[in-house]
Amino acid sequence: MRVLRPLAVVASAAAVLSLWSPIAEAQGPTRPPAPMPLTPAQFPPFAEATLPNGLRLLVVPSTKQPVLSVTLALPAGNTYDPTGRSGLAELMAGLLTKGAGTRSADEISAAIEGVGGSIGASAGADFLTVSSTVLVNDRELAFDLLADVVLRPTFPATEVDLLRKQTLSGLALQKSQPGAIASRAFARGLYGEHPYGRSADEGSVGAITREEIVAFHAQRMRPAGALLVVAGAIDAAEARRLAERAFGGWTGTAPAAAAARAIPQRTRTEILLVHRPGSVQANIVAGNTTWLPSDTRGYALALANEVLGGGSDSRLFDILREQKGWTYGAYSSVSRRRGIGSFSATAEVRNAVADSALRELLVQMRRMGAEPMTEVEFDRKKQTLVGRFPLQVETADAVASQVANARLLGLPTDYVQTYRQRLAAVTAVQAQAAARAAIRADATYIVVVGDATALRETLAPIAPLTIVDVDGRPVDVAALTVRAGGPAIDASKLVPASDSFAVLVQGQVFGYQASTLTRSDDGWTYTERSQLATIIQQTTTATFGADLTMRRVEQSGRLQGQEMGVRITYAGGKASGEGQVPGAQGMEPVRFADVAVPAGVVDENIASVLLPYLAWAPDARHTINVLTSKGAVQPRTYAVTGEEAVTIAGAPVPAFKVSVSGGEAPVVMWIEKVASHRVLKIGPVGQPIEFVRVR
């Protein structure tokens, strides 16, 4: 038997391929086949009626599954929040299922979960929705519960206090999330004093009373103007019977909304830079207002947006990620509201390329209206949107959602049925014209969330620039530079100390943190050991001189089984370090050399050592300049926001409540009021974890 040598195998394969190639070229298609004729999407029949009390009823019957969904939408969304009470609609929505009729929150949960169903409520910009999904045999329970939570909520004081506390915690957590910061700032800048520009904050939510929630419910939760959607295994007659039984005694019309403030008319591009100290990347949002949902150019704009940033095969994604490698993803979207909608484009990029990415994003926005789209990309995107729509209306519930949304936005009654045909009729010229009108690169509002010290100089040449902090307060450019000078501490007063904290997760002990400060012949050594169950184990050793001049920091440990650690050496006013630290995408290598460290800057690991030696008072505000484990010099601000007792070893200890800002996430500390000023408790905002002193 003859054995073929490797080169012979290759030669044989090449020969076969050379013979096959002409055949393949002759037989294989050279371009995609033409699309099949467009056929109408199949919709289940749906019926509409208006009950005597003004409640509109939409029924979408389907026997595919023995499931029924019931959704009630009312004009009671965030737009209707009174001035100074942003978040009122959201609080009310969250409380509707926390006690209603004769049932408590637990009894409502038990009733609906006992039949494998669900019930919930939420507030959007324009509408508040309450919905329930059950098996069809439990339809009467769904209507009964829905009627109770909408008509007869009890708003228990304990539930009001609990939800307010949870909401405040969530708002504080948002300040550590660049995406949330950018979204809030973008809405505020885009819509100004119009209700669409308002967002709940700690001040407004903290001021809302139970009485105001009750009054808001009485005013806004009325049947006239509301829409009840019933979808699933039910016919129109049965749905109407259940609706009239549950809501027939409900009466009234909600008062007209107050006249909204005018939306700013932007004539130039502007940048709002939100200073988030320590951010290693920039979150970019750029866009502008568009038009009413009834504008017929919406079909063309949907296609233009899909070409620009509608997915991983769009221009923004291809250029900013695939070609440039600046980001994990870049996208654009169009939002539709009962009032004026908006267009926005987003990207998250490294600080070093933030200016380049923003310039390119604006170029691509401008290009949409200035240049015709290619036939290939336009047709591909049109086929995608037209072909995707039938998948979005496969179930009765999905059809009901589409039709209800159209009704709530005031769109034509045949909007859903004719959507595909109208979209398919859009031409490339129409899409370009819509883009020119709605995607205005030369009059766009840009929000960039990141470290202003790294971004200010590169972004300023692009457009007029304003710098604010995460709360929207103006930032003095001079304050961005860390200057020499440490905290007002008499270093000679430092004394050896040892501290021990229990690490609590949702009130349960999950670990510990113990530290010691010891004196050496010419300075100090700080050692800290911490452990959180089997998740985190960490040891830190920091040495510094008698005058607080840093010398060396060594940190080692494991996070979920992965090694982490960093070594930093301070000498001659500079710092060098290397190691591996946790990051947004897991463990990240760190290496920096000769970072300038102005006099008075301390390592972030010993900042807490200095706190007891600061002057604490009801209005105290202190800044400590620190070097982070990633080699960035940043100011940490410690501001007293109130007074609150902390229970230590079973006894209340009076303390100052201190808000800590300037790090990657906001933190709250409680510092003892008496002269020793020990740190009593530490809690990362919005997280169910806290460190509580045990001795």
Kindly give the parts of the chain with pLDDT less than 70: 1-43, 481-486, 584-585
Given this model, what pLDDT does residue 477 score?
83
Map 500-559 to HEC letters.
Answer: EEEEEECCEEEEEEEEEEEECCCEEEEEEEEEECCCEEEEEEEEEECCCCEEEEEEEEEE
Q: Helices 452-459 and 354-370: crossing angle, nearest 10°?
A: 40
Q: What are the chain's domains?
A: 47-180+199-247 (3.30.830.10), 270-480 (3.30.830.10), 491-548+555-560+601-693 (2.40.360)
pLDDT by residue (tens digit) across 405-419?
A: 898 999 988 888 889
Given this model, what pLDDT does residue 11 score?
37
Which H/E stretch holds residue 24?
helix 6-27
CB-count exposure of residue 625 (10 Å: 0-12, 13-18, 19+): buried
CB-count exposure of residue 533 (10 Å: 0-12, 13-18, 19+): exposed
Q: Of how many residues is the chain composed?
A: 695
From 467, 454, 286, select the one nearest 361 (Cα to Cα): 286
> 195 Cβ partners below 8 Å, 6+ apart?
78, 79, 80, 81, 260, 261
From 90, 94, 96, 61, select the one nearest 77 (Cα to Cα): 90
Which H/E stretch holds residue 497?
strand 497-505
Q: Rg (Cα) of the chain, in Å, rounded?
A: 31
pLDDT by residue (tens digit) across 587-603?
A: 889 899 999 998 889 99
Cα gap 309→307, rounded to integer Å? 6
Contact predicate 560/572, CB 8 Å: no
User: Strand order in 118-123's β-sheet?
Assistant: 47-50, 56-61, 227-232, 67-74, 128-135, 118-123
Tally DSSP H helices, then E strands, for the chain: 18, 31
Which H/E stretch holds residue 607?
helix 607-610
Report the alpha-carbon angle 345-348-351, nearest 5: 125
From 397, 392, 403, select the one nearest 64 (Cα to Cα): 397
pLDDT by residue (tens digit) across 264-284?
A: 889 999 999 999 877 889 999
Given the structure tokens 């006992």, which residue do they identify? 114
Tokens for 380?
A: 């591909």
Q: Helices 210-220 and 157-174: crossing angle, nearest 10°?
A: 90
3-class SS of residue 401:
helix
Query: Please, what sign has the CA dihedral across residues 171, 173, 174, 176?
Result: positive
Given this model, what pLDDT does residue 242 score?
97
Given this model, what pLDDT does residue 12 score?
39
